Every structure is written in structure tokens, then in C-alpha cells.
Amino acid sequence: MQPTRINKYLSEIGYCSRREGDKLIAQGRVTINGKKPELGTKVTSGDRVAVDGKDVQPHLRPHIYLVYNKPVGVTCTTDMRVKNNIIKAVNHPHRVFPIGRLDKPSQGLILLTDDGDIVNKILRARNNHEKEYVVRVHKPLTAKFLKKMRSGVPILDTVTRPCVVQKVNTHTFRIILTQGLNRQIRRMCQYLSFNVVSLKRVRIMNIHLNLPIGEWRDLSDNELHVLNGLLTDSTKEE
């Protein structure tokens, strides 16, 4: 085994995503040979890695890929101390973690897995992977609002990428993003003086939402095959 950064190691063995790994390290919950590492510390063969005092080991079974229709009120975190966390809500018999996030007030499609490699490929913003949402706002849509949403809105010290926005009815629109900025759609709407009433994610790349709220299923073989094809040219590095 080549020396590997601890967050990457936790991701590659299917324990959690790199981002979650960074959080665990920062919280002092990870040890290497009994000592708390820094973010850049590397793991080598023979090292004993533990989280919350429990050794973590690579698994030998096939990876798990789940599709989940997250209800409003569920928090996308693996921290079991958080009330209504997604791990308790899904209650899968094996350890899985969410690919990215869907904020607590939002509903809809989120993927969970124990495959850190696919997580990093999907989450890299420069990979331009599509995510589609249906959004309802508190007042009637205007042509000006739709145009500005499509062309880019200044939030979080940047301007959002041009995106596809389609009016559904008086108060509702569909939007397809290739970015994953924090609470992006809500911030975009707020900047234009529109408040989000409801937000539902209905698609991630080739995966469509087709489940009742609160239920999950395994990714089909065909969905996984197509997804891997779409990820072929994606980078998983920072």
C-alpha cells in the first residue's frame, strides 16, 4: 500500500466520503496507531486506523448503491448524534453515507453508498454533472426572474453558472444545475427577492426519482452501468 492521505484512505475503504473524513479528523474522532492525525497525515501498510475508538477495515463485499427519497426534516449527515440524521432514517443494515447533500428543508433524490471512489467523481464541481430540481416560490414567476436565474446570479463571492430553467406553472419552475454551491437555489432565489416554498430534487445525472417519500431502493444494474459510463472521464481528485 502506497502512503495515502487519511481522508482519502477512509473514502477508499468505504467508510465515509473525503469531506466527512475531514470533519471526523477535525473533530478529533480519528486515530492512527492511537494518535490523532492532522488533515494531511498519511496512512501506510500496517497502520491501525480507528474512528471513535473502533478499528476500521476495508470491506470485501460488493459496493452498495442506494436511491433514497429524502423527506423534509432529515439531515444529510453521518453523525449519529444529530437528530433525524439520514443514516437512521434509511436504516440500512450496512454502513453507507450520502453522496453530497440535500438540505434539511428540501425533499427528494439523494444517493447513498459505501463506494468513496464514485462519491468523489460525482461531487467534483468541475465534472459538470447535472442535477434537476422542481422549485415552488412564494409569488408568481416573472420573465425577468427566469432570465436572471438562467444567466447567472451573484452569490457566495461568485456568479452561478448559466443553467437550464423552465417555467412549470405560475409559482413553479424546473432548474438543472451543474454546480453544488451551498443552498444554491435558495440563495439564487433570495437574491432576486423570491422565497422558496418547496424544493424537490428529481434527478441526479441518469438517476430519476421514482419512489414514495421516505423510501429507498438499490440502484439497478442498468442505472449503475450508465452512471459509470457517464463518470468515465470524470476526475476524482481535488
Give CA separation, 219 vs 66, 182, 207, 208, in Å: 5, 26, 9, 11
Q: Which domains does the chain have, with CATH numbers?
A: 4-55 (3.10.290.10), 65-125+210-230 (3.30.70.580), 130-204 (3.30.70.1560)
Residue 117 designated active-site: no
- 53-77 residue pLDDT tens: 989 877 666 889 999 999 999 999 9
pLDDT in tens for each of the 238 residues of the chain? 678 899 888 887 878 878 888 989 999 999 999 999 988 899 988 889 999 998 987 766 688 999 999 999 999 998 888 999 999 999 998 889 898 889 999 999 999 998 877 887 887 755 678 999 999 999 999 999 999 999 999 999 999 999 999 999 999 999 999 988 899 999 999 999 999 999 999 999 999 999 999 999 999 999 999 998 888 876 554 4
Catalytic one of 52, 103, 114, 221: 103
Mean pLDDT estimate for the chain? 90
- 160-201 residue pLDDT tens: 999 999 999 999 999 999 988 899 999 999 999 999 999 999
pTM of the shown model: 0.77
Give me the residues paired with residue 208 across strands: 203
Q: Are 68 and 100 in contact (CB under 8 A)?
A: no
